[in-house]
C-alpha cells in the first residue's frame, strides 16, 4: 500500500421528514413506529446533522464512504425515493457503498422495489440485487451483508441466514489469498451479546465462527447508535490468525442525546504503512455539543496483520 486510503463510516441516518403515509400503508408495525417517531425520535434525528457530517467527510477528502443502513424509518415508497436522491447528491456509486438496516426492510410493501432502488450503491443492478457482495475500492475489499428482515412490532432483530453466512465465509477465505484489506459491512452487531434479544442478530454466533475461521481486517456495523470497539479473536490454528477489530458507530443524524446515545458522529479509517506494518488510524468526528461545530472527538491506531 503505497499511499494512505481513507474510508468514512456512517450509519443510522434516519432521514426525515416522514411523508407519503397514505391509508394503504397503515398496519400495526407502521402505526406503532410512527407513534414512536412522533413521541421521541422525531426530536432526535435531523437530516441537517447528517448533511453536515457528510460535508465534513467530503471536505476531508475521504476516498470512500460506507453507510451501514437505516436510511429511512417506516419503509414507505417516498422514503426509498428520498433516500436515493440523498445518496445521488452525496456521490456516485463509485464513491459510496451501502448495506440496508432493519428500518429499510421494515414491513411489507407491495408493488415497490424497496431497497433495490439503491442497488447501484451495492454493486448490483436493480433486478439482480444479491447478498453478500464484494466491492473493490483502492486497497480494500468491502464485503456487504444484509442482516435486515421483516419483524413483528417492537422487534428490531436481524438474521443473515445459513446461505449468506456460508457465501460470506467463502468470500473472506478467497480474499485472504489476495493483497487486499477485507472490510465487512453489516447493520446489526455481528457478535453475540452486543444487543438485547429483540434487537440482536439471531445468528451472530454462527457468523462469529465464520470470522474466527476465515478472518477479516475490520468489521463495521451500526444499529445500536453507540460507539463501541470489540476485538474478536480468530480460532487457534487459523492461518495468519489475528484479533479482528469490530467497530460500531452512533447515528449520523442525532441532533441531541437520547438516553445514553451520543450526538451525531461518524468514523474515519485511514489505512497506511507504518514502521513496516499495516495500520489503521481510527478517528471519531462529530458534534461535541448540540448545534456546535464538527470536531475530532478521539483518535487511535489499530495494528493490522503484517
Q: How far apart are CA 115 and CA 117, in angstroms?
A: 5
* 8 Å CB contact between 139 and 6: no
Cα(301)–Cα(304) distance, integer angstroms: 10
202 Cβ contact partners less than 8 Å away, ≥ 6 residues apart: 157, 158, 159
What is the C-alpha separation between 111 and 124, in angstroms, rounded?
20
Beta bridge partners of 65: 8, 96
Q: 182: which 3 cell numbers?
A: 477485507
Beta-strand runs (E) in 84-239: 96-99, 133-137, 140-144, 181-185, 218-221, 228-232
Point out which residues pair with 66 in neighbouring strands. Answer: 9, 97
Q: Report pLDDT for 240.
A: 56
Tell me the CA distances in angstroms from 95 to 89, 136, 233, 296, one per residue in order: 12, 11, 31, 23
What CA dihedral angle connects 169, 205, 202 and 251, to 10 degrees?
-80
Closest by CA to 261, choosing from 276, 251, 248, is 251
Given the C-alpha cell 490468525, which residue does it identify? 241
Angle at 116 between CA 111 and CA 119, to 5 degrees: 160
Which residues neighbour 21 within 8 Å (Cβ) at sequence distance 6 or greater? 30, 34, 74, 76
Report all structural domains of the chain as residue ranges with CATH numbers, in order of start. 5-303 (3.60.21.10)
* Gap between the terminal Cα atoms of the chain: 12
Question: Cell 454462527 identifies what position?
Answer: 206
Pairwise CA distance, residues 236 & 43, whole Å: 48
User: Which of 118, 213, 208 is CA-nearest to residue 172?
Assistant: 213
Placement of cell 442525546 in the chain: 257
Which three three-digit cell numbers place residue 159? 438474521
In order along its 306 residues, the chain shows pLDDT tens digits of: 689 999 999 999 999 888 877 778 889 999 899 999 999 899 999 999 999 999 999 999 999 999 999 999 999 999 999 999 999 999 999 999 999 999 999 988 888 899 999 999 998 876 678 999 999 999 999 999 999 999 999 999 999 999 999 999 999 999 999 999 999 999 999 999 999 999 999 999 999 999 999 999 999 999 999 999 999 987 655 555 689 999 999 999 999 999 999 999 999 999 998 777 889 999 999 999 999 999 999 999 998 766
Phi, psi of 207 (to 5 degrees): -70, -35
pLDDT of residue 111: 82
β-pairing verdict for 228-232 and 244-248: antiparallel
- Cβ atoms within 10 Å, residue 151: 18
Judge contact between 174 and 168, C-beta under 8 A: no
| pLDDT for the residue numbered 236 | 58
**Alpha helix (H) residue ranges in 17-125:** 28-39, 47-59, 77-90
Amino acid at each position: 500500500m503505497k499511499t494512505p486510503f481513507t474510508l468514512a463510516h456512517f450509519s443510522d441516518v434516519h432521514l426525515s421528514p416522514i411523508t407519503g403515509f397514505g391509508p394503504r400503508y397503515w398496519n400495526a408495525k407502521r402505526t406503532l413506529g410512527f407513534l414512536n417517531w412522533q413521541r421521541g425520535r422525531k426530536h432526535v434525528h435531523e437530516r441537517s446533522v447528517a448533511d453536515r457530517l457528510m460535508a465534513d467527510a467530503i471536505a476531508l477528502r475521504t476516498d470512500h464512504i460506507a453507510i451501514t443502513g437505516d436510511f429511512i424509518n417506516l419503509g414507505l415508497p417516498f422514503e426509498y425515493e428520498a433516500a436515493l436522491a440523498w445518496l445521488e447528491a452525496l456521490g456516485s456509486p463509485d464513491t459510496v457503498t451501502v448495506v440496508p438496516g432493519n428500518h429499510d426492510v421494515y414491513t411489507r410493501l407491495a408493488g415497490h422495489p424497496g431497497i433495490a432502488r439503491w442497488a447501484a450503491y451495492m454493486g448490483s443492478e436493480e433486478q439482480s440485487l444479491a447478498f453478500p457482495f464484494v466491492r473493490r475500492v483502492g486497497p480494500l475489499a468491502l464485503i456487504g451483508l444484509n442482516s435486515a428482515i421483516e419483524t413483528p412490532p417492537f422487534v428490531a432483530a436481524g438474521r443473515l441466514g445459513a446461505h449468506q453466512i456460508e457465501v460470506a465465509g467463502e468470500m473472506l477465505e478467497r480474499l485472504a489469498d489476495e493483497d487486499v484489506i477485507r472490510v465487512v459491512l453489516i447493520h446489526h452487531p455481528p457478535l453475540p451479546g452486543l444487543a438485547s434479544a429483540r434487537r440482536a442478530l439471531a445468528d451472530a454466533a454462527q457468523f462469529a465462527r465464520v470470522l474466527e475461521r476465515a478472518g477479516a481486517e475490520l468489521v463495521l456495523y451500526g444499529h445500536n447508535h453507540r460507539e463501541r470497539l470489540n476485538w474478536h479473536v480468530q480460532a487457534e490454528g487459523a492461518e495468519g490468525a489475528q484479533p479482528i477489530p469490530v467497530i460500531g458507530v452512533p447515528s449520523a443524524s442525532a441532533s441531541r442525546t437520547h438516553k445514553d446515545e451520543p450526538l451525531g458522529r461518524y468514523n474515519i479509517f485511514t489505512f497506511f504503512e507504518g514502521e513496516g506494518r499495516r495500520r489503521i488510524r481510527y478517528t471519531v468526528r462529530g458534534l461535541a455539543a448540540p448545534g456546535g461545530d464538527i470536531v475530532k472527538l478521539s483518535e487511535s491506531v489499530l495494528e493490522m496483520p503484517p
